[in-house]
Structure 1
Amino acid sequence: MTAKPVSAKPKIAYQGEPGANSHLACVEAFPDLEPVACATFDDAFAAVAGRAIAPGQRVRRDERADFAMIPIENSANGRVADVHHLMPLASLHIVGEHFVPIHHQLMAVPGASLKTITSVQSHVQALGQCRKKIHELGLKAVIGEDTAGSAHEIAKAGDPTRAALASKLAAEIYGLEILAKDVEDAANNTTRFVVLSREKNWARPKNGPTVTSFVFRVRNIPAALYKALGGFATNGVNMTKLESYQLDGAFTATQFYADVEGHPEDRPLKLALEELEYFCEELTVLGVYPAHPFRAKAR
């Protein structure tokens, strides 16, 4: 019996089915890597970590990947749920970022039309990004696990009353017809992805625009957050993102996620992080990586 050849290509995991926007991001940013579809974010993180992230989860050797392409926020709908919790839990490192302009296509089975469809299915984020078109057509919004998975389900159902919101690639993969193109509400609808790796690989200092991402918890003292963040202002460090979220369902345990411009070895950021650490119970740098060119264009 001839052994099955093993792909020599490094693999990059993403959440969703083939044709998902995360799949597009993988192909666009890393055409030489082999994309690996994962059913959930837990599965995508576990594929790179090489171990279970969720209770009862198992990771087979053939499911493992070298990197993951994970959506972290969208310009229209804000942050992507669960991702902030999973990054520290999986002990993965951010080694890059990628921005993808998102274009949603309204699609259905061959023979369907705008007159026959009565419902549209997609990921909750996609439905939120296309509210105007959904209301204009009077469609019932149905939440699916992801965009490409919804397109796949609509194709299998063969029902001309059901439509999906997904990418052009998904329409091609699942044999659906596009009834309306680029139906997103905002012309500048963009999703930011982070590239995750098992290995810590910080960008070199003084080698172009750099982003540093970290999570922290402040000490339980009055004005701790105000004092902790003061160092970024006094040292002229631009904080481009700051978000809070609860840990383990406790209202008193708040963790913060932040992105700042600069490298930890740059003196201003070094001083700011030292001041932050003084007021923190915990501070973890998730990654130091080159800023994507999209940031300069978006200013």
Structure 2
Amino acid sequence: MSNPRRIAYQGEPGANSHMVCQQHYPDLEAVPCASFEDVFACVEAGEADLAMIPIDNSIAGRVSDIHHFLPSSKLHIIAEHFLRIRFSLLAIPGTRLDQVRTVHSHVHALGQCRRFIREHGLTPIIAGDTAGAAREIAEAGDPTQASISPPLAGPIYGLDTLAADIEDEDHNTTRFVVLSPEPLRPPADDGPVVTSFIFNVRNLPAALYKALGGFATNGVNMTKLESYMVGGEFTATQFLAEVDGHPDHPGVKRALEELAFFTTEVKLLGVYPADQARF
């Protein structure tokens, strides 16, 4: 693809998605979007060249709503990145920790910092976004209010850090994928590769068992398998899967060919280098 210039992400400046953009694409302009739907639309309309989307968290599991957009999107996964999630307690300059009474953040962030909140007797207040909570604290100018936000949000909104690394678990990690209008497959012989795809099984007894059998018999490691309801039906017929390997590798190629016999649709979402953080 031509040299990318802009990368879109969901959230306000200072969000974790913004941090990943800065870490891995420092030369690109990071474009904040209000929702995941807006991120996809921004890239599909040509207003940004790439999208940075969280897809899994080691504590919370899969990121909701993403599975609604990936199957119907015209975008392709071209990379993955892992971010160790860190949260700081932010407040207006000059605030002391013992002054704070309420703490504001996204519901997931509040849940991931329960121990700190309980130990300091703070009242949690749900906000729409971790970075947006920092902005709201800066605008309120009230020393009794603080936010739980990514460290990047502090300097962006002119807030002091009252406490750092307040998350309950030190393994809290989010996996992000980078989406592009153009597929960018790495060579089959250039290091570890991940292949992501979706498929719909046929309405037959043991169809899923038979569909996945080819991966076992061909020695292909499946690292992800998630089911979704589609079309308003209460039957899980669509699956999102990821395997180690490239579609040009003989084992993966044979497994995908066998998968086609027991499915009504197989769609590759992306073939991309495996991030070293996997290992």
TM-score range, shorter chain: over 0.9
Any unmatched runs of 5+ in structure 2?
none
Letter in 2 for 1:128: G
- Asked if the contact 2:201–2:264 (Cα under 8 Å) also holds between the matched residues in 1, the reply is yes
Q: What is the aligned partner in structure 1 of residue 71 from structure 2?
A: 88
What is the rounded CA distance, in whole Å, between the counterparts of 2:231 and 2:127 in structure 1? 26
AA at the equivalent of 1:201: L
Letter in 2 for 1:124: V
Name which of 21, 25, 28 aligns with 1:33.
28
- Counterpart of 1:113 (choices 85, 96, 102) is 96
3-state SS in 2 of match to 1:260: strand
Identity among equivalent positions (%) equals: 59
User: 1:215 is paired with a residue of what secondary structure?
Assistant: strand
Q: How far off is 1:231 after superposition? A: 1.2
Secondary structure of residue in 1 paired with 2:70: helix
Q: Size of the alignment, in residue pairs? A: 277
**Equivalent residues of 2:225, 2:241 under 8 A apart:** yes
Q: 1:169-225 CA distances to partner (integer Å, 9 max, x unpaired)?
A: 101111111111101111121111000001122222111100000111111111111
Q: Among residues 242, 263, 266, which one is paired with 2:249 in the alignment?
A: 266
Distance 1:160 1:254, change over 3 A: farther
Measure, in 2, the Cα distance between the counterparts of 1:126 and 1:260.
Answer: 30
Amino acid at match of 1:219: R
Alpha carbon RMSD of aligned pairs, Å? Answer: 1.6
In structure 1, distance between residues paired with 2:240 and 2:111: 24
Residue of structure 2 in register with 1:47 after alignment: 42
Q: TM-score normalised to the size of structure 1?
A: 0.88
Q: What is the identity, as a one-letter code, of the residue corresponding to 1:17?
A: E
TM-score, length of structure 2 as denominator length: 0.94
What do the CA deviations read for 1:217-268 (whole angstroms, capped 9, x no partner)?
A: 1111111111111111111111111111222442125321111100011011
Cα distance in 1 for residues equivalent to 2:19 and 2:115 = 25
Amino acid at match of 1:45: F
- Counterpart of 1:92 in structure 2: which amino acid? L
Counterpart position of 2:264:
281
In 2, distance between residues paired with 1:38 and 1:151?
A: 17
Tell me if the contact between 1:46 and 1:90 (Cα under 8 Å) persists in the aligned partners: no
Distance in 2, Cα, partners of 1:38 & 1:125: 19
Aligned partner of 1:137 in structure 2 is 120
1: CA distance between counterparts of 2:237 and 2:18? Answer: 32
1:10 matched to 2:8? The reply is: no
Q: Is the 8 A contact 2:4 2:50 kept in 1?
A: no
2:227, 2:236 within 8 Å by CA — same for their partners in 1?
A: no
Describe the SS at the equivalent of 1:227: helix
Compared CA separation, residues 138 and 89, structure 1 to 2 (3 A)? farther
2:258 counterpart SS class: helix
Say if 1:212 and 1:259, in contact at 8 Å, map to a contact too.
yes
1:110 deviates by 2.3
Runs (4+) of structure 1 exceeding 3 A deviation are: none
**CA distance in 2: counterparts of 1:254 and 1:121, whole angstroms:** 39
Deviation at 1:9, TM superposition (A): 6.3
Q: Is the 8 A contact 1:9 1:34 kept in 2?
A: no
The corresponding residue for 2:240 is 257
Report the AA paired with residue 14 of structure 1. Y
**Superposed CA offset, 1:136-159 (max 9, x none):** 223232222221111101111112
